[in-house]
A and B are shown apart, each in its own frame.
Chain A
Amino acid sequence: AQRVTQPEKLLSVFKGAPVELKCNYSYSGSPELFWYVQYSRQRLQLLLRHISRESIKGFTADLNKGETSFHLKKPFAQEEDSAMYYCALSGRVGAGNMLTFGGGTRLMVKP
């Protein structure tokens, strides 16, 4: 069975501080991992995926298969980063869009 765990329900930081949103997964095969974000009064949307190894809005995430983690990081948080963040796993590449989501972490960036 596949499982995604986000241990922190709430993370509060000050503007300019580094941010790390934790995500751990459980999957026996080779997973694809994603971060989705939901800003206030907006729809859930894709932030980044591990396979593209890109930086979006200053966020990066590295897949660590040894630690089964996919933590989301940003060196300097901005107030507009305040949102709900979900880590998600797709265990069957190319076999359809079936994502397993973590419980989410609410990030609050204080001025």
Chain B
Amino acid sequence: KAGVTQTPRYLIKTRGQQVTLSCSPISGHRSVSWYQQTPGQGLQFLFEYFSETQRNKGNFPGRFSGRQFSNSRSEMNVSTLELGDSALYLCASSLGQVSTGELFFGEGSRLTVL
């Protein structure tokens, strides 16, 4: 079974631009979560989607948004990029409705903002 796939793996943007990151969960998984990982703040929860609905949201500004499609694939968008948005963005999927805490992570999308 294929693992969680994230695209693109690496990207460079400049301040003020926007970026869209994509995540394909493991087949059959309906929950997709996003995390931001930085050396200073560690792993921080962004949001979680289940059946196309945002189920949980972390403490990030409104510039960070996401969505989930009917095939469970998810995208996150960051608008008006700031230098501090440089990070590894990790997507994780899990089976479904009941939380087990078992997340399957992708390799991440490394965003550099210049």
A interface residues, Cβ below 8 angstroms from B:
32, 34, 43-46, 49, 86, 88, 90, 92-104
- A95: contacting residue among B33, B43, B90, B99, CB under 8 A: B99
Complex CA distance for A69 and B107, rounded to whole angstroms: 29
Q: Tell me the smallest distance from the CB of B9 to a CB of chain A, in Å.
A: 13
Within 1-51 of B, Cβ neighbours of A (below 8 Å) are at 3-4, 31, 33, 35, 42-45, 48, 50
CB pair A46–B101 under 8 Å, yes or no, is yes
- A-B pairs under 8 A by CB, number: 66
Q: Tell me the smallest distance from the CB of A64 to a CB of chain B, in Å.
A: 18
Main secondary structure of the interface of B (DSSP, over half): strand
CB pair B101–A101 under 8 Å, yes or no, is no
CB pair B90–A98 under 8 Å, yes or no, is no
CB pair B99–A92 under 8 Å, yes or no, is yes
- B102: contacting residue among A49, A92, A102, CB under 8 A: A49
**What A residues does B101 contact at CB under 8 A?**
32, 34, 46, 49, 88, 90, 97, 99
CB pair A99–B98 under 8 Å, yes or no, is no
Within 60-114 of B, Cβ neighbours of A (below 8 Å) are at 90, 92, 94, 98-107
